[in-house]
Amino acid sequence: MVVVGCQWGDEGKGKIVDVLAGDVHVVARYQGGANAGHTVHAGDDEFILHQIPSGILHPGKRCLLGNGVVLDAIEFGKEYDELEARGIAVEGRVGVSQKAHLVMPYHRLLDQVSEDRVEQKIGTTGRGIGPTYEGKAGRRGLRVSDLAHPDRVTSLVEEGVARARRRAAALGGELPGDVPAMVDEALAAGERLREFATDTGLEIVQSIRDGKRVLLEGAQGTALDLDHGTYPFVTSSSTTAGGAATGSGIGPTVIDAVVGVVKAYTTRVGNGPLPTAFEPDMDEKLRELGGEFGATTGRPRRCGWFDAVLARYAARVNGLTGLAVTKLDVLDTLPEISIATAYRTPEGEAREFPADTWQLGEAEPIYETLPGWEAPTGDVRKLADLPATARRYLDRIEELTETPVQMVSVGTRRKQIIRV
Ligand code: GDP
């Protein structure tokens, strides 16, 4: 099973994966790096996980980081140690693909220098993810399997630093700080990674052969996919369900279900168009109601109505078999709720999500407005117990996306879930 975000990330995938992880044996991440942040509540504790799958909070589950992931070894070590310090038994439960690429300090520094200097800002988190994927596609990256070969590491790192310095200079800047010392620190953390190295694809396929269930967890969301998102305001990897196969090392026929996570409204962090964006007052109101501030950076997220054009597109490019709608409770107090069903564009009415991001920027949503339910939903555990207007809202999402709603999340806690 794959769990994939269907908007611009922050859909609450962490919560859905956390709920579903109870049913599976292995949880694997297939793309992204420490730029993603999942906030997960287990009991009264809150954990923010950047790299290790949230399945780690379920005793005994095996958690893998696939080859499609780019790994920050220092951050990984910190996260692992913090989980251990907070009483989570992590020993023997984490595996890292031998083919995963490492995010090095020069990637991170270059990311920051570039984002400061280039005219068209993407709004990256400045964690080196983009430059690491560039190095991967440029066939000069450093992979986990290289760590066992010091000579190879030295030449790849020397070349990496020199290239990053040249690039920073071309942008009119320089890499700040003591780069060699930072590189040494990263390599020391990398040394530690070697004990986690594994063949994730092989592990996943063997687990399935043994009758175990595997969940592949995406970071970010469909509209941030390198190919299918709002390019160039995207992340540098394949966030969609197809990326789950390549990024974990299995074939697509092994995947039996794709659950799309959508928030009951839409948010976006970073730059790029958000067609259903609210006016400032409502934007502020929903941001407060939904706590819409980035888990990794604390950046405020822009908020808007549910965009069914985007969600239907996400259903198609991911081949969704079901939807998980999150944060329904955030809408509890609103008297009316709108859904964008199509866009008005200079070229006429569009029912499909445009390929051209600038065209999307000009798109004006065509809304359908439904009555709100104005009642708390946080304690509801059965679909039938939701107010009729809330059910109508979910039915409409189902119709417009042509995808069945299988789960509805009504709060941050694990138990605040309706399974259909
Ligand atoms: P992710 O990266 O997709 O997992 O999303 P984030 O972790 O950035 O954002 C999800 C936030 O919403 C977290 O703080 C969750 O605790 C919270 N959350 C998830 N599901 C729900 C829900 O159904 N209701 C409310 N109120 N909060 C939720």
For 328-344, the pLDDT digits (tens) are: 999 999 999 999 999 99
Q: Is the pLDDT of residue 35 over 80?
A: no
Q: What is the tens place of the pLDDT at every residue in 188-208?
A: 999 999 999 999 999 999 999
* Mean per-residue pLDDT of the chain: 94
Angle between helices 179-193 and 150-170 (to 10 degrees): 140
Judged against a pLDDT cut of 90, whether residue 408 lies above it is answered with yes
**DSSP three-state, residue 229:** coil
Q: Is 241 helix (H, G, I), strand (E, B) or coil?
A: helix
For residue 186, name the pLDDT band (cuts at 50, 70, 90): confident
Instruction: Please give the pLDDT value at position 122.
Output: 64
Assess whether 209 and 87 both reside in one domain: yes
Instruction: Give me the helices (H) in 104-148, please.
Output: 105-117, 129-137
> Do residue 328 and residue 214 come from a single domain?
no
Give me the domain span that covers residue 243. Answer: 2-97+197-259
d(C-alpha 25, C-alpha 38), whole Å: 20
Q: How many domains does the chain have?
A: 3
Q: Quick one: average pLDDT of 392-419?
A: 97
**Whole-angstrom Cα distance, residue 329 to residue 55?**
24
More confident residue, 293 or 298: 293
Which amino acid is present at 220? Q
How many whole angstroms from 410 Cα to the centroid of ligand 1? 10
Domain with 409 in it: what CATH number? 3.90.170.10
pLDDT (0 to 100) of residue 119: 61
Write the CATH number for 150: 1.10.300.10
User: Which amino acids bring their CB within 6 angstroms of ligand 1?
Assistant: 5, 10-15, 37-39, 41, 291, 295, 326-327, 329-330, 409-412
Are residues 289 and 176 located together in one domain of the fold?
A: no
Q: Tell which of 235, 259, 283 closes a domain.
A: 259
Say whether both 58 and 151 belong to one domain. Answer: no
Confidence bin at 383 (pLDDT 50/70/90): very high
Cα-based torsion angle of the residue sequence 370, 374, 375, 381 in order, rounded to the nearest 10 degrees: 20
Residue-wise pLDDT tens digits, 346-357: 889 999 999 999
pLDDT at 125 over 80: no
In Å, how far are 49, 52, 280 from 57, measured between CA atoms? 10, 10, 37
Q: Does residue 38 surpass a pLDDT of 80?
A: no
200 vs 36, 90, 132, 246, 250, CA distance in Å? 20, 17, 20, 11, 9
pLDDT digits (tens, 9 = 90+) for 151-172: 999 999 999 999 999 999 999 9
| Digit-coded pLDDT (tens) for 297-340 | 788 999 999 999 999 999 999 999 999 999 999 999 999 999 99
Catalytic residue among 18, 23, 25, 38: 38
CA of 182 to the centre of ligand 1 (A): 33
Q: What percent of the chain has pLDDT over 90?
A: 85
Active-site residue, 101 included: no
